[in-house]
Amino acid sequence: MDRDLIAALDYALNRGFQIHPDALESMESMEPSVARNAIRGLVRAKARRGPFMISRDDLESFLGLVAPPGTDLGNDHDVLSDPTPHITSAEGAAGYNALFASRYEKMKKLVAGRPEAKLLKTAAAAKQVKRDEEAYVCGLVSSKSVERSATKVVLDDPTGTVELVAFEGGAKGEADGLFNDQFVMAKAVPGRNGGLVAKEIMFPGVSDHRSGRSETEAHAIFLSDLHVGSRYFMEAEFDELAEWLRGPDPVAKAIRFMVIGGDLVDGVGIYPNQDKELVCQTLEEQLEKADRLLGRVPDRIKIFVIPGNHDPGRRALPQPAIPKKHCPGLRSRENVFMLGNPSTISLNGVRVAMFHGQSIDDLVKTTPGLSYSKPVDAMRRLLEARHYSPIFGSQTPIAPESEDMLVMDEAPDILHMGHVHITGLGMYRGVMMINAGTWQSRTPFQVSVGQEPTPCQAIIVNLKTFRVFYKDFAEGRDVVGSGGAAPPAAGP
């Protein structure tokens, strides 16, 4: 034993203290200087009030390794929305009419509190607007044509359509970035040659958001896109994560929730010749492996899992939770909760919206300025639109449900997504946006399209203070080709 540490123990004994064998054992794994200072500090702190015993708990809480005894961080959760029980098998065009009618009604309710909402005219009434009058209209964007000097936008509502023209110096910038099928409001005036000129385009967005906070400093860890079963799944790094969660790091010890944003497994038959890139050839094998991996996470941590486009269930949004028949093991774990995509949960009072993020493909494809490398920009656009997947008929399949469950009815405190395999963090009007990246290394597909993932970066949030921690489990390893993975620049 270190001589100075022996001296510190003597110091404690001479003042009438006993050292519990647990505490001695714990000290053996510490730097002698750290243990020595802790002993001296504890003797000074306890000398006046006793008891004259130094336990492992005393030692570890003195060093900040654990919360002081008696503080229970709590891990209360509530599922606020989950599409799983509401999914029907509505089919065909009637289904889509009902879906868009539902979208319109829900979005209109969502903006009802805004001053402009009182002035809204229907598409039919907007045709009667007189010269020098202003009109407020709203609807779902049914088409957009961008030209150099003007952009034409057609909005649909239940009474018909209204055509707007936006000019440079007016609302052209906003009009150019509109997504098909998103809900917007516009302030317009009659143009000289008939029709309406858009002066302003307003998104539902988020306003005056007051974020819910946990009363305790419980932490949540955000992950996504594990792709278990893929030969590119980074199992060793995930093991390190599980080991860290079981270890003495005070941040790890405060974690009470784990949130997984989809693509838990790589799936089967998702893309051509996928079998050559799989180490587990069946969904059952893949999910059993996921079950074993998540079994290494300490039980005090509640784990929430939604599906992504690689998981079984159905492909179209909204997706039900990964069916029990594929993952009886996971389903029987008491700390694991399988939900649909998208779902909203409350974690100690913090509202977390979970969505895999398939629609980012559509946004990147159709919107100049958006890219896979900055997922948070796309996430902000979804929050502005208050919809998880506004564009219909592009890459993301959307089911003809009679209720549009992809409307973001209430603004979340944290919006958690994945899918793009690149970590991102940002704030939009009081909403924290997290893209949780991936645990899969760069795939041949990603090499072919020039995407560089940032694997094995865990994002951890203190649910009381919203302080964010990064933990890079792939640090120093060449897993993303050249360049390496830098943590995202934007922070709250």
Binding site partner of 222, from Zn ion, ligand D5M, Fe ion, none, Cβ cut-off 5-8 A by kind: none
Angle at 385 between CA 136 and CA 152, to 5 degrees: 55
Asked if residue 362 binds ligand D5M (CB under 6 A), the reply is no
Asked if residue 225 binds Fe ion (CB under 5 A), the reply is yes
| Closer to ligand D5M by Cβ: residue 62 or 233 | 233
How near is the Cβ of 297 to Fe ion at its closest, in Å? 20
Q: In whole angstroms, what is the distance from residue 125 CA to residue 129 CA?
A: 7
- Class of residue 171 by CB neighbours under 10 A (exposed 0-12, middle 13-18, buried 19+): buried
Residue 444 forms beta bridges with which residues? none
* Pair of tokens at residue 249: 């790091």
CA–CA distances in Å: residue 115 to residues 33, 103, 104, 111, 187: 64, 21, 18, 9, 12
Q: In whole angstroms, what is the distance from residue 78 CA to residue 81 CA?
A: 9
The contact mask relative to Zn ion for 406-425 (x = CB under 5 A, - = no) is -------------x------
* DSSP character at residue 168: T
Q: Provide long-range contacts, Cβ within 8 A and 24+ apart, for 338-341.
A: 338/305, 339/79, 339/82, 339/84, 339/304, 339/305, 339/306, 340/82, 340/83, 340/84, 340/87, 340/306, 340/307, 341/83, 341/262, 341/306, 341/307, 341/308, 341/317
Of 74-82, 166-174, 235-243, 419-427, which segment contacts ligand D5M by CB under 6 A? 419-427
The contact mask relative to Fe ion for 236-275 (x = CB under 5 A, - = no) is ---------------------------x------------
Asked if residue 446 binds Zn ion (CB under 5 A), the reply is no
Upstream peptide bond of 51 is cis (omega within 30 degrees of 0):
yes
Q: Which of residues 291-320 bind Zn ion (CB under 5 A)?
A: 308-309
Asked if residue 361 binds ligand D5M (CB under 6 A), the reply is yes
Asked if residue 196 binds ligand D5M (CB under 6 A), the reply is no
Asked if residue 266 binds Zn ion (CB under 5 A), the reply is no
Instruction: Give the residue, chosen from 106, 380, 386, 419, that forms a contact with ligand D5M under the rule CB under 6 A.
Output: 419
The contact mask relative to ligand D5M for 422-461 (x = CB under 6 A, - = no) is ---------------------------x-x----------
Task: Give DSSP secondary structure letters for 311-323.
Answer: SSS-SSBSBPPPP
Amino acid at 52: F
The contact mask relative to Fe ion for 25-54 (x = CB under 5 A, - = no) is ------------------------------
Of 37-45, 133-141, 221-229, 456-464, which segment contacts Fe ion by CB under 5 A? 221-229
Residues at the contact surface with Fe ion, assessed by CB under 5 A: 225, 263
Residues at the contact surface with ligand D5M, assessed by CB under 6 A: 225, 263, 308-310, 361, 372, 419-421, 449, 451
